[in-house]
Amino acid sequence: MGSYLLVNGHLVNEGTITPADLRIQNGRIAKIASSLSPEGNEQVIDLQGKHIFPGMIDDQVHFREPGLTHKATIASEARAAVAGGVTSFMEMPNTVPNALTQELLSNKYHIAHESSLANYSFFMGAANDNLEEVLKTNKRNVCGIKIFMGSSTGNMLVDNTKTLETLFSSSELLIATHCEDEATVRARLELFREKYPTEDAPAYIHPLIRNEEACYLSSSMAVELAKKSNTRLHILHISTEEELALFETGKAVKDKRITAEACVHHLWFEASSYETLGNQIKCNPAIKDARHRAAIRQALQTGAIDIIATDHAPHTWEEKQQGYWKSPSGLPLVQHPLLMLLEMSQEGVLSLTQIAEKTAHHVADCFQIEDRGYIREGYWADLAIVDLEGKHQVTKGSLQYQCAWSPLEGHLFPASITHTFVSGHLAYANGEFDFSKKGERLLFNR
């Protein structure tokens, strides 16, 4: 593995922005100092004032392999992630077949070991009838258990109250939940199908079907179950102002038993965006009106929201172009979350150090990831080099997703990702990839 010396950079790390040089050896950060001289045959990269962020750890992606590889593969989406400064991902179990057994989970790890440019972990899936398999999950090398408390793919809706109570009381691992109340969604779906019976129903009805009540009912139930059993609960993709009251503020993430995540699309888009983008931004939970976006953005400051992720969920362009009732939910995002957040930083939504906290530090603390998420000597060198002056336009040709589309096409970002180091490997530099080394499996200090 190559050795590197990064000079004339600005470290964005642990609440400060500091001019520094950084040495990478054997995949890890060997030295951080105000000035370092080259040693041996290490490669020197003059960053010329660019900013060094800890690589983003995306705790919620759908990379579609196995079973849905016409949409995406682990290799294609990991490549897109790395182009965007995302160095590690945690992938969801609703692939085909659903990852509901230890054998199926192991198969996904094998695919990633062979093909993922980024570091990786995979959630074990819970269903109404696989408790025994769930409880076999290794807490050292699996990120957590995923429970869909709302409609999902295949056999993954967990709606049996006794099963939920047993899962929450028995699991030693973090439980991550998708929270939308199934009964509420079904009832409203029926109501709107009567009102809009044809396929050309408008996309803006999506947040009216999957509304605030559906989210709050399910999230509050999850919180209640977690408090009853002192479960380590992480609620994914908060999309409403009402849910924010469920979470503690003013407390370190590592000291919380219940944490919350927001996704970049709920911070970026709001309901008026359906007018121009339609089903491209149809996702679950739905993007809702502007008051929710404002509240979620504010929750980044109060600490009610601990983590920012993407919920990257690609579908083919042809699938998304179907009428509302047939168009699947989900959008591709993993190549651009840092750029989206850097633009929001210029708008005053959050600071550069908060970006590092919400996308790396807090994710590492939340999941107890070993030696990652911070720029520290001895830690793995997972780094995103950012040029705050180098604009990046999203074009079809620049997209790395297999699905080859993005709702951000045409947008000009004020910053760019120039280099991405994954476990000390310079995986991406100025538009070029080096596939000679794959990412590492994440480990957890539990």
Each of the 446 residues of the chain gets a pLDDT tens digit; together they read 789 999 999 999 999 999 999 999 999 999 999 999 999 999 999 999 999 999 999 999 999 999 999 999 999 999 999 999 999 999 999 999 999 999 999 999 999 999 999 999 999 999 999 999 999 999 999 999 999 987 655 568 888 889 999 999 999 999 999 999 999 999 999 999 999 998 889 999 999 999 999 999 999 999 999 999 999 999 999 999 999 999 999 999 999 999 999 999 999 999 999 999 999 999 999 999 999 999 999 999 999 999 999 999 999 999 999 999 999 999 999 999 999 999 999 999 999 999 999 999 999 999 999 999 999 999 999 999 999 999 999 999 999 999 999 999 999 999 999 999 999 999 999 999 999 999 999 999 99
Distance CA 159, CA 161 (A): 6
Strand (E) or helix (H) holding 236: none
* Count of structural domains within the chain: 1
Phi, psi values for residue 80, rounded to 5°: -60, -40
Judging by DSSP bridges, how do beta strands 416-422 and 258-263 pair with one another?
unpaired
Half-sphere exposure of 364 (CA within 13 A, CB side): 21
Asked if residues 83 and 335 have their Cβ atoms less than 8 Å apart, the reply is yes
In a domain, 16, yes or no: no
In a domain, 416, yes or no: no
Q: Which two tokens stand for residue 168?
A: 């929450």
In a domain, 415, yes or no: no
Q: Which two tokens stand for residue 409?
A: 């096409």
| Residue 55 DSSP code | P
In a domain, 235, yes or no: yes
Closest CA to 380 of 90, 6, 87: 87
Q: Residue ranges of the alpha helices (H) in 177-263? A: 182-195, 206-209, 212-229
In a domain, 253, yes or no: yes
Distance CA 72, CA 404 (A): 10
CA 302 to chain CA centroid, nearest Å: 20
pLDDT at residue 159, as a whole number:
81
In a domain, 380, yes or no: no
Half-sphere exposure of 382 (CA within 13 A, CB side): 35
For the chain, the C-alpha Rg in angstroms (whole number) is 21
* DSSP secondary structure of 378-440: TSB--EEEEETT--EE--GGG--STT---TTTT-EES-EEEEEEETTEEEEETTEE--SS---
The residue range of the domain holding 236 is 55-367
In a domain, 414, yes or no: no
Asked if residues 123 and 155 have their Cβ atoms less than 8 Å apart, the reply is no
Phi, psi values for residue 228, rounded to 5°: -60, -40
Judging by DSSP bridges, how do beta strands 56-61 and 51-54 pair with one another?
unpaired
pLDDT at residue 158, as a whole number:
86
pLDDT at residue 149, as a whole number:
87
Amino acid at 372: R
CATH number for 338 = 3.20.20.140
In a domain, 432, yes or no: no
Distance CA 146, CA 141 (A): 15
pLDDT at residue 151, as a whole number:
61
Phi, psi values for residue 45, rounded to 5°: -120, 115
* DSSP secondary structure of 239-292: --TGGGGGS--SS-GGG-SEEEEEEHHHHH--GGGHHHHGGGG--SSPP--HHH
Asked if residues 111 and 438 have their Cβ atoms less than 8 Å apart, the reply is no
Say how many residues make up the chain. 446
Asked if residues 104 and 98 have their Cβ atoms less than 8 Å apart, the reply is yes
Distance CA 193, CA 79 (A): 39
